Structure 1
Amino acid sequence: MITGLLFVQAVVFGILSAIIASNKNRSAGGWGALGLLFGLFGFIAAIAVGEAEDDARSSRRRSSQQKSSSSERRQTSPRREKQSPAQDFDPDEYRKKCLMCAEYIKLEARVCCHCGHEFSEKEVEQQIEKAKEMMRDDKSNEERGE
């Protein structure tokens, strides 16, 4: 009787932990297992842990805060913010807008993967230089506290 009650309690805390973790964009399976194994303590941990930001939502929030030009927009990943400003320029963390279909593609791309529009080598180099300049401006603004 007591064993059955403890098992039901563990399952209930596992399910509740999974639901709370899922609502916070965390792994429902992992937190459900913690709730199942540790019961009330796993449930409390699931409540106490903060919300994890997914990449799409955090990039939308950053892009709304940044000024975007008509032909180019910079999008960074969360790990880029944690790096020191002395890090080198990483073109994989920047995107450009295709002039034909208005979809964002990698900065170094010569051909749009959505519509097939081809960019000249000169255009690509100019866009890379422009992104580097924007990065330098952002760093100098951060250093000045703007």
Structure 2
Amino acid sequence: MIVFEDWTFSEWFFVLSFAVTTAIVAHVRGRNAVGWFILGLLFNVFSLIILFALNRLPRGPVKTCPRCAETVLAAALVCRHCGHEFALHRPSPARPSRPLPVVIGAPRTFVSRDSYGSVAYSVFSDGSIEATLDGALRAWDNVDEFRRDADRRTLSISGGRRGGV
């Protein structure tokens, strides 16, 4: 057992400086500073060596790169290990262009299904159009309104460029 009564100032200073250094390094590496301060008091240099041998813990939520399988922060846009660019997730509005009609009288009937660009749409007997855009079911009064809206959304997604270039 260690007897603390006979220690000199320099011995206390040495032990405390290693404990504080261990706590600071532990905090920077994402570990519990208080726990590592106590380990630094008890095991001095050995706790510092063990701390440097351990991997850094990430600060915050993480995700795994699909290309190299390394762990990176969830907010990362590019993997720091292999340079893989993650897709930017933009939440889309779930509000329809206009509320879907509530039919009280004669029901409208389905006429045909077609597609405009990559968007499939349905045509009804009253000339209205329904399609899923940006992950939400939307409705238009006629085909021209639908095509204008679909073109606007395509241009905003592609950055103002038309076509596949």
What TM-score does the superposition give when structure 2 sets the normalisation length? 0.38
Structure with bigger gyration radius? 2
Q: Between Structure 1 and Structure 2, which shows a larger proportion of strand residues?
A: 2
Q: Between Structure 1 and Structure 2, which shows a larger proportion of helix residues?
A: 1
| More RCO (CA 8 Å, sep 6+) | 1
What TM-score does the superposition give when structure 1 sets the normalisation length? 0.42
